[in-house]
Amino acid sequence: MPTAFITGVNGQDGSYLSEFLLGKGYRVVGCVRNKAKTACDRLHAIREKVDIVQCDLLDQARIEEILKEYEPVEIYNFASHSFLSESFAQPVMTGEFVALGVTRILEAIRKVNPAIRFFQASSSEMFGKPAEVPQTETTPFQPRNPYGVAKVYGHLITANYREIYGLFACSGILFNHESPRRGIEFVTRKITHAAARIKLGFTRELPIGNLDARRDWGFAGDYVNGMWRMLQQTAPDDYVLSTGETHSVRELCTIAFERVGLDYRDHVVHQPESFRQAESLQLVGNPAKAELVLGWKRSVTFQDMIRMMVEADLEALK
């Protein structure tokens, strides 16, 4: 039984990947910063099947201890906060975890067992104000927020360890991917949850900023399949995981409210102060390389994903 080590296991991606790997016959070891304080709600259905260990990506020695004790053959790094406003509020902490944390894992692999295969969760936010549309694995990085800057460091240091030390280290350049397990602070879940609350009579209005903002949104459950496929190749490389299409926040609202039999225009309130600082523009990925080399395909459409999220929120609120 191969062992996989997942940092940020209690997050959206960590939970879906845990389920996926357990289905493949892996032993899953998940890392959290504080076992006493961390809620593993997203792992509820599989909690007894996942070994949870305490580890802080600021602690190089602890990472090495875990690799020696559990002997993973694969490591997937999701440890970071991905809510962009936090990176503006705490840019130094963002750098410590999102950038230098990657280096500490790679150093631990190099020192303990260079045969371990490593996946780094890179982000479309690295492109920022993109030089070309759509973005590919070779599009220049122009990040516009501290999170994107830190992700660029993590992406490049992963490639650096691959080239200099020969590690099997891959980065998945992940465009927005959502699910019913997405945090309530993200716009997709904020909208689906509000639609459910309004339908059930808990509230009447939803404040929203830029309805015309567009993103490349896919389903998280599909994306973890692509991550695993990267580590099964004969040679390490980087891949864009995306849908290749964009949808607006307005479309998102339309689908979510229609699912509960409402018109979003009766409930959405324009809130200019919610516009993101240094808004990233025209972010849409080209997944052709992942589709060709990995044989990766999406199974859930944007429309079906939003409906799935609304239905899950309705059920939870009921």
- Active-site residue identified among 147, 161, 223, 264: 147
Catalytic residue among 15, 18, 80, 123: 123
- Measured CA angle at 185 (ends 182, 190), to 5 deg: 75
| Annotated catalytic residue 76 | no
C-alpha to C-alpha distances, 202 to 27, 195, 289, 305, nearest whole angstrom:
42, 10, 45, 23
Q: Which residues contact 275 (CB under 8 A, 6 or more apart)?
A: 209, 210
User: Do 189 and 177 touch, CB atoms closer than 8 A?
Assistant: no
Q: Which of 83, 103, 81 is nearest to 93 (CA)?
A: 81
Cα separation, 280 vs 303, whole angstroms: 23
In sequence order, which residues have a C-beta less than 8 Å from that of residue 197 and are 6 or more positions away? Answer: 203, 313, 317
User: Distance between CA atoms of 311 and 298, rounded to whole angstroms?
Assistant: 21
264 is catalytic: no
CA angle 183, 184, 189 (to 5 degrees): 95
Non-local CB neighbours of 148 within 8 Å, separated by 6+ positions: 123, 125, 126, 127, 128, 141, 280
**What secondary structure letter does DSSP report for 285?**
B
What is the SS3 assignment for 162-210?
HHHHCCEEEEEEECCEECCCCCCCCHHHHHHHHHHHHHCCCCCCEEECC
- Closest-CA residue to 247 (of 173, 179, 305, 198): 305
Q: Give me the residue label for tokens 């009447």.
A: 204
Distances in Å between the Cα of 151 and the Cα atoms of 5, 102, 263 are 20, 9, 38
Instruction: Specify whether 245 is catalytic.
Output: no
Query: Which positions are annotated as active-site residues?
Result: 123, 125, 147
